Amino acid sequence: MAEPGPLLGRGRDADVYDLGPGRVLRRYRDPGASAEREAAVMVHARAHGLPVPEVFDVDGPDLVMARVEGPTMLAAVLRRPWTITRQATVLAELHRAVHAVPAPDLLDRRTGPGDALLHLDLHPENVLLTPSGPVIIDWTNAARGTAEVDVADAWLVMSAARVPGPAVVAAAVRAAQGVFPRQFRRAAGLDLAAALPTAAARRLADRNLGEQERRRIRRLAGLPLSARPGSPEPS
């Protein structure tokens, strides 16, 4: 695989490098990880008309795809807070478009009944805004299931997360965090009651989740505040 150029983005499990004209390399830091499944899901999603970067090559932990030019939806909303309602509606429309696609056969991971394609990390940091429209990235968590679980997942993440950053933007982020998830949930128009505990359980299985976030997710999903009812939250 080609030698990577400058680092463009750094996430929890992968780094994204510039690969020259129109291409980026997304490389898992675990050299034993495979991006094959993720690449296949992206190809499937694109073939069904979803706005997803074109995949050029996949090799073990390396995935080469089209470079998308544009800020994340989160960056765009922080820069132009007056677009918040519109962007939350766009995100809900992206969810709807994803869930209209049948899950590919290779997706045997299930989150309850249903056979829709789910992204399961479809929040404003995984949408890049280009002049020709929004593009969905970061398909690591894709699964098969019901739309409600995906919408519930995004709603929980957006409502519970504390976006790190300088104090000057903290106030803007807090203000946005009240409005954005509410508008997103309204625009999605689904009844999330049954899906929230499922979505929360998935998120809570993540060992890296901070204690505060854990508590917020439990509260938002209406779960008991400690893992075992009656026992104190471990510190």
- In terms of Cα–Cα distance, which of 148, 151, 125 is closest to 138? 125
Minimum separation from the CB atom of position 118 to Mg ion (A): 16
Question: In whole angstroms, what is the distance from residue 19 CA to residue 5 CA?
Answer: 5
Tokens representing 35 are 């991006």
Site for ligand ADP in 58-97 (CB under 6 A): 65, 67-68, 72
Q: Which residue in the shown chain puts its C-beta closest to Mg ion?
A: 138
Answer for which of 4, 19, 26, 51 binds ligand ADP (CB under 6 A) is 26
Which of 136, 124, 149, 139 is closest to 202 using CA atoms?
Answer: 149
Residues in the chain: 235
Name the strands in the sheet holding 7-10, side by side, starting at the edge strand that comes first in the sequence: 7-10, 14-18, 23-28, 62-66, 55-59
Is residue 53 close enough to count as binding ligand ADP by CB under 6 A?
yes
Q: How far is the CB of 16 from Mg ion (least distance, A)?
A: 9
Give the integer Cα–Cα distance in Å for 65 and 201.
32
126 lies in the binding site for ligand ADP (CB under 6 A)? yes
List all residues 6 or more positions away from 124 whose beta carbon is below 8 Å from its beta carbon: 72, 73, 74, 77, 87, 91, 158, 180
Question: Cβ(184)–Cβ(154) under 8 Å?
Answer: yes
Closer Cβ to ligand ADP, 67 or 119, answer by number:
67
Q: How far is the CB of 202 from ligand ADP (least distance, A)?
A: 16
Q: Which does 60 bind (CB under 5 to 8 A by kind): ligand ADP, Mg ion, none?
A: none
Site string for ligand ADP, 184-213 (x = CB under 6 A): ------------------------------
34 near ligand ADP (CB under 6 A): no
**Separation CA 2–CA 25 (nearest Å):** 9
Residue count, binding to ligand ADP (CB under 6 A): 17
Q: Does the protein bind ligand ADP through residue 176 (CB under 6 A)?
A: no
Site stretch for ligand ADP (CB under 6 A), options 10-18, 163-171, 174-182, 205-213: 10-18
Q: Which residues contribute to the site for ligand ADP (CB under 6 A)?
A: 8-9, 11-14, 16, 24, 26, 53, 65, 67-68, 72, 126, 137-138
